[in-house]
């Protein structure tokens, strides 16, 4: 008989659903595997007003009322306490800080936390979570995440009650950094940072489909991330950072950063945890620790995966997914 595992339906604590036509694809693929997801606000225009947050949430729900969007807003320099309060009243659970210029649609990001002191104070008072894309602009690309530690530590020190998430950890030094901070600080880990290294991006021919921010790093970094994911430490939980771009936008001389992993992340994580003898740690990492940190209910429903091979499509609605055309050894049970 095929090996099976049943877990609480996962929660994706960081994903990009995009807008318009692409929402049909992203919500369909995310909801097949995830009960809920933390929806990133780096749309164009950004989700930074209550009206936009509400209409974006309604648009997502209209695609599938069974998938719960956990809504965020994008911080901007000088955002006032009353503007933060209005976002919370509209249903925001977190605010996302993008340092200026580090990733897709972050040109209008924040230059220094000193420009958002009032914003962060209000978030702390309202018990909103601060989620950060931790890369310090204009430094060597493989050290950008490490270079952000100083800014992260300064914010953590200035706001001792603020819950903070170090998003998509990619550098082994960040694992120790997050582990050393109080329990109100956690970190998300993606499927691609657990599976790939820089060899998959530039080791052979340059592959734009494995290019994302922060860039995947070396084998020792990937190993440290794996150990954190397998550790059972509730500070580390899954956030896919699934970030689709159309094939033509990836296969261009200015390839956009972002990897589309929603359709494949759960079976790939199951495969990794199984291969490493850590299957008993899978459910907490994928489905429990994330919602617990956010004080959100985990899914009540479960999914069952069976050890049965399938081939990942080359293209899904114009998007090349993670592990395209490769085999994955787990599938959802029909
Ligand atoms: C994301 C995107 O495309 O929106 N890109 C990425 O490389 N991860 C933005 C982000 O999370 O950095
Ligand atoms: Zn992201």
What is the predicted pLDDT for the residue at 186? 99
Closest ligand to C-alpha of residue 14 is 2
What is the predicted pLDDT for the residue at 1? 74
Ligand 1 surroundings by CB, under 6 angstroms: 16, 42, 103-104, 133, 212-213, 241, 243, 257-258
| pLDDT, tens only, 59-79 | 999 999 999 999 999 999 999
What is the predicted pLDDT for the residue at 246? 98
What is the predicted pLDDT for the residue at 334? 81
Go through the chain and tell me how many residues it has.
Answer: 334
Closest ligand to C-alpha of residue 244 is 1
> In terms of Cα–Cα distance, which of 280, 169, 322 is closest to 235?
169
What is the predicted pLDDT for the residue at 191? 99
Identify which of 192, 257, 319 to mutate to test ligand 1's pocket (most ligand atoms within 8 A of the CB). 257
| Nearest-angstrom CA–CA distance, 236 and 233 | 6
Exposure string for 308-332, b = 16+ CB within 10 A, e = fewer: beeebeeebbebbbbbbeeebbbee
Do 17 and 60 contact (CB within 8 A), yes or no? yes
Do 87 and 95 contact (CB within 8 A), yes or no? yes
Do 96 and 58 contact (CB within 8 A), yes or no? no
| Nearest-angstrom CA–CA distance, 56 and 137 | 29
User: Could you list which residues have their CB under 5 Å from ion ligand 2?
Assistant: 241
Distance 42 CA to ligand 1 centre (A): 9
Quickly name the fold that domain 11-299 has.
TIM Barrel (3.20.20)
pLDDT over 70 percentage in the chain: 100
From the alpha carbon of 16, which atom of ligand 1 is closest? 4
Residues with a catalytic annotation lie at 241
> In terms of Cα–Cα distance, which of 260, 296, 254, 309 is closest to 37?
296
pTM: 0.98
Closest ligand to C-alpha of residue 37 is 2
What average pLDDT does the structure give for the chain? 97
What is the predicted pLDDT for the residue at 110? 96
Residue 164 pLDDT greater than 90, yes or no: yes
Q: Confidence band (pLDDT; 50, 70, 90) for 2?
A: confident
Distance 240 CA to ligand 2 centre (A): 8
Residue 134 pLDDT greater than 90, yes or no: yes
Write 287-290 long-range contacts (CB < 8 A, 24+).
287/7, 287/8, 287/9, 287/10, 287/11, 288/8, 288/237, 289/186, 289/234, 289/235, 289/236, 289/237, 290/11, 290/13, 290/38, 290/188, 290/237, 290/238, 290/239
| pLDDT, tens only, 290-308 | 999 999 999 999 999 999 9
What is the predicted pLDDT for the residue at 196? 98
| pLDDT, tens only, 182-201 | 999 999 999 999 999 999 99
From the alpha carbon of 244, which atom of ligand 1 is closest? 3
What is the predicted pLDDT for the residue at 55? 98
The pair of three-digit structure tokens given for residue 90, joined into one six-digit string = 């509209």
| Nearest-angstrom CA–CA distance, 45 and 18 | 11
Q: Where are the domains of the chain?
A: 11-299
Distance 186 CA to ligand 1 centre (A): 19
């Amino acid at each position: 008989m095929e090996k099976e595992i049943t877990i609480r339906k996962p929660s994706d604590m960081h994903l990009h659903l995009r807008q318009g036509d692409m929402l049909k694809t992203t919500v369909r693929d995310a909801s097949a595997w995830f009960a809920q997801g933390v929806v990133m606000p780096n749309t164009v225009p950004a989700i930074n007003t209550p009206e936009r947050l509400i209409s974006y949430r309604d648009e997502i729900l209209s695609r599938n009322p069974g998938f719960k969007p956990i809504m965020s807003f994008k911080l901007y320099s000088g955002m006032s306490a009353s503007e933060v309060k209005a976002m919370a009243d509209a249903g925001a659970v977190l605010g996302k800080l993008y340092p200026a210029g580090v990733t897709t649609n972050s040109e209008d990001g924040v230059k220094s936390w000193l420009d958002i002191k009032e914003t962060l104070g209000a978030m702390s008072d309202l018990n909103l979570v601060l989620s950060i894309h931790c890369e310090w602009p204009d430094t060597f690309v493989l050290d950008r995440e490490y270079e952000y530690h100083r800014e992260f530590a300064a914010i953590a020190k200035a706001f001792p009650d603020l819950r903070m998430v170090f998003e998509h950890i990619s550098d082994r030094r960040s694992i120790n950094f997050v582990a050393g901070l109080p329990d109100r600080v956690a970190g998300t880990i993606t499927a691609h940072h657990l599976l790939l290294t820089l060899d998959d991006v530039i080791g052979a021919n340059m592959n734009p489909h494995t290019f994302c921010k922060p860039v995947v790093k070396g084998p020792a970094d990937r190993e440290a991330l794996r150990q954190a994911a397998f550790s059972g430490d509730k500070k580390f939980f899954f956030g896919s950072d699934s970030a689709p771009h159309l094939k033509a936008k990836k296969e261009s001389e200015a390839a956009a950063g972002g990897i589309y992993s929603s359709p494949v992340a759960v079976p790939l994580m199951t495969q990794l945890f199984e291969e490493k003898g850590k299957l008993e740690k899978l459910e907490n990492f994928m489905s429990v620790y994330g919602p617990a940190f956010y004080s959100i209910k985990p899914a009540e429903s479960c999914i069952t995966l069976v050890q049965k091979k399938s081939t990942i499509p080359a293209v899904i609605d114009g998007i090349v997914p993670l592990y395209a055309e490769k085999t994955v050894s787990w599938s959802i049970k029909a």
